[in-house]
A and B are shown apart, each in its own frame.
Chain A
Amino acid sequence: MKLVIGIVRPEKANDVLEALYRAEVRGVSISRVQGHGGELERVETYRGTTVKMGLSEKVRFEVAVSDPFVEPAIEALRDGAQTGEVGDGKIFVVPLERAVRIRTGESDEAAVTPVGG
């Protein structure tokens, strides 16, 4: 049981969702985050003030999956998010100690397996 975290370009978020859906990975949380990876900063000017934008908008996916779904989830994140340019983001996989489905009280593997799956 792992938590797969993917940080991707906001404009690729829809493609990632689609890829995850096709990989039959259900249950995902996303949040808007700002971050700095390798991408070149944008320079913006507001009247006389010129600034370098050091942080870029990203979307953070969190997917809790049972072990057989770890590789498909990673694949889906890569497929959906890759453009080949610097700034495509990163995927982190971390071990998950417990998971509980609030509605039923099911825990662990049962809790991260899709309903009816």
Chain B
Amino acid sequence: MGAFEAAIAVAQVDSGDTAWMLTSTALVLMMTIALGVFYAGLVRAKNTLNTFMMCISSLAIGGIVWALLGYSLAFDGEGAILGGLGHVALNGVGLEPQPGGTVPHLVFFAFQGTFCMLTLALISGAVVERMRFGAWMVFATLWSILVYAVLAHWAFGGGWLAQEGVLDFAGGVPVEMGSGFGALAAALVVGARKDYGRQALLPHNTVYVLLGAGLLWFGWFGFNGGSGIGTNDAGVLAFVNTMLTPACALFMWFVLDLIRGRKVTAVGAATSIIVGCVLITPAGAFISPAWAMVLGFLGAIPCYAVIVWRPRTRVDETLDVLAAHGIAGFTGILFLGLVAQFAWNGVADGLFYGDAGQFASQALAAAVAPAYAFGVTFVLLKVLGALMPLRSTEHEEAVGMDVVHHGEEAYLTGEGAILITPESGDEGEVPVANPI
């Protein structure tokens, strides 16, 4: 940015926009924790902490990688495939806004960084309860560059999908389809849990599942509502649609549950909230509130179908990232190609409003993003798998990831715990009944 441009830009910082974007950034950061609660509730008690820690570790990995390299690859310049290296290690990312922006460049960087963190956490749902924590850390680091930053550039950073006219409001391509179809590849390479298909592997705390889903919805107001990068029309419309679509998806899930099992389920309700939020993520401020409601009702159906079908297969995509994120993101990005309205978004019309070309662009994104995410994730894990064991042994899986990888338990009574004091030195000297 030249000095002259910078001088103009400084005058453009808007305090209201900046305040909302700071808030949105914090809301999206909270979504990773909320996802940790949601995921932890869905696994068995002995894997609670490990599952949560995969999400927590995403905050560290995503934050560091994004600052050092990811942001630059995604948002520096408008190369077709990749951005440049001009913003490596936050070079040139300062308090001035970018050209045409109204918030400091740093705020934009931080907001996008929380998306990277969340996406890493999302994909962990495919491999919980058996992947080694170390292998996960290595995988997540490389994935955030090879898949997330690349897809973010294509959709948000002026890459070739954006140049083709693809509309993606808040991350249907990099976040939802990236994590969803990457998750399918990860589940295939890492393999099923040893008890999968032989025993019922059930959620250990459904209250966590509901609480996590509710907090995710709350955070999603920042995720979608902040993706207008200000308190503008787009932000407001996306915010309101984020209220409407999940509400409709939730209701539709009740109906589908009733038809299928004659009971409305809580885990289903929690899932549908996330499905609804994902459905509206790509469509965001491109469609009217009325169409956003229709999207909630209709979009729930394919996701529900995949969630019912997937456990009957041998693919242990454990927490259904494919159905809740991949399929919902896919549906949302296509639906927006049908019902986008220039009158609401000021950008483009969809097929129903006279522009078939927009639907073709959306279909391109819906074909390319899943293929790229699946392919790269598959190869990445195959290569990593040749270099290090990806999963824990059967015995470790039986004992549980919490004790094996973290040396902690989520639900501890303290009975039988013998304090190892510094005075006692080597743990061998602790006076306990010697079993052997």
Contacts and interface: CB of A to CB of B under 8 A. Distances in A.
Interface of A: 9, 11-12, 14, 34, 36-46, 49-55, 83, 85-86
Contacts of B416: 34, 36, 53-55
Contacts of A85: 395
A50 B420 CA distance: 6
B430 to A, nearest CB: 6
Interface in B386-436: 395, 398-399, 403, 407-409, 413, 415-420, 427, 430, 432-433, 435-436
Contact of A54 (B398, B407, B432): B432
A41 B432 contact: yes
Contact of B398 (A11, A39, A46): A11
Contacts of A50: 419-420, 427
A46 to B, nearest CB: 6
B313 interface: no
A46 B435 CA distance: 25
A51 B435 contact: no
B435 A52 contact: no
A34 to B, nearest CB: 6
B408 A45 contact: yes
Contacts of A42: 403, 407
A53 B433 CA distance: 12
A66 B30 CA distance: 58
B418 to A, nearest CB: 5
B419 A43 contact: no
A40 B420 contact: no
Contacts, number: 60
Given A37-B435, A42-B403, A51 B418 contact: yes
A53 to B, nearest CB: 6
Nearest to B394: A83
Given A50-B420, A51-B420, A54-B416, A43 B432 contact: no
Q: Which 7 A-B pairs have the closest CB atoms?
A: A55-B416, A11-B398, A54-B416, A51-B417, A38-B435, A50-B420, A52-B418
Contacts of A86: 435-436
Interface of B: 199, 395, 398-399, 403, 407-409, 413, 415-420, 427, 430, 432-433, 435-436
B432 A11 contact: no
Contacts of A14: 199
15 contacts: A34-B416, A36-B416, A36-B433, A40-B435, A41-B418, A44-B409, A46-B408, A51-B417, A51-B419, A52-B417, A52-B418, A52-B430, A53-B416, A54-B418, A83-B398
B407 A44 contact: yes
B408 to A, nearest CB: 6
Contacts of A11: 398-399
B435 A36 contact: yes
Contacts of A53: 416-418
Contact of A45 (B199, B395, B407, B415): B407
Given A54-B432, A86-B435, 6 more contacts: A38-B436, A42-B403, A49-B419, A50-B419, A52-B432, A53-B417
A14 B398 CA distance: 12
Contacts of B419: 49-51
B87 to A, nearest CB: 37
A68 to B, nearest CB: 30
A43 B398 contact: no
Contacts of B418: 41, 51-54
B427 A39 contact: no
Contacts of B433: 36, 54
B194 to A, nearest CB: 10
B400 to A, nearest CB: 8
Nearest to A54: B416
A50 B424 CA distance: 12
A7 to B, nearest CB: 15
A88 to B, nearest CB: 12
A55 B199 CA distance: 26
A69 to B, nearest CB: 25
A50 B398 CA distance: 23
Nearest to A48: B422
Interface centre among B408, B417, B419, B427 (most CB of A within 10 A): B417
A34 B409 CA distance: 15
Contacts of A51: 417-420
B408 A43 contact: no
Contacts of A54: 416-418, 432-433
A49 B419 CA distance: 7
Contacts of B399: 11
A16 B407 CA distance: 28
Contact of A55 (B403, B415, B427): B415
B271 to A, nearest CB: 25
Contacts of B199: 14
Contacts of A46: 408
